[in-house]
Amino acid sequence: MSDVFTTRILRVTTGSDETVSDLTRDIQLFLDEAAHGRNGLLNVFVPHATAGIAVIETGAGSDDDLLATLHTLLPADDRWQHRHGSRGHGRDHVLPALVPPHATLPVVGGRLELGTWQSVCLVDTNKDNPDRQVRLSFLG
C-alpha cells in the first residue's frame, strides 16, 4: 500500500492557436519533488471539456500531424449542434472523446517511464480559452 500521494496544478497558456504543448519537462520537475526516487503512478488530468492529453512524439512533425488529423476528423465548421464561441467550437467539445483528458503513466525510480520518442502533451484546439490547468498526481 502506498503512503505517498502528491498533487499539483500546472498552469499552461496555450494562446489563440490550436496547439500540442509538450509537458514532459514540467512533469519531470514535479516528479523530482514529489517522487523522491520512488516507483509509482503519475496521473495527468486536464479538467476542461475541450482539451486532452496525448502521449506522442513531438518535434518531428507528429504534433502537426495530430492537429491535421483532428482537422480532418473534427472540422471547424457549422455542422456541430453545440454552438457558442468561435465558429466550429462544437468540435472542441468532441475532442476529449478522441484525445482523452487523462493519462496514467508509470514512474520508476522517480523518473517518468516513457519510450525513447514519447512525450506527454496537452492537446488544445479551443482558441477561445488560452488558459489551461493540468493536474499532476503522483501515487507511490
Concatenated DSSP letters for 89-118? THHHHHHHHHS-SEEEEEEETTEE---TT-
Average pLDDT, the chain: 94
Structural domain of 21? 5-139
pTM: 0.93
Please report, for the domain that includes residue 57, its CATH number: 2.60.120.460
For residue 21, give the DSSP letter.
E
| 133 against 85, higher pLDDT | 133
| Cell numbers found for residue 42 | 503519475
8 A C-beta contact, residue 24 and residue 114: yes
| Cell numbers found for residue 55 | 502521449
Segment 122-140 shows an average pLDDT of 95
For residue 3, give the DSSP letter.
-
What's the rounded Cα separation, in Å, for the pair 98 and 54? 10
Indicate if the alpha-carbon torsion angle 19, 125, 132, 45 is positive or negative: negative
Q: What is the pLDDT of residue 2?
A: 57
Total domains in the fold of the chain: 1
**pLDDT category, 1, cuts 50, 70, 90?**
very low
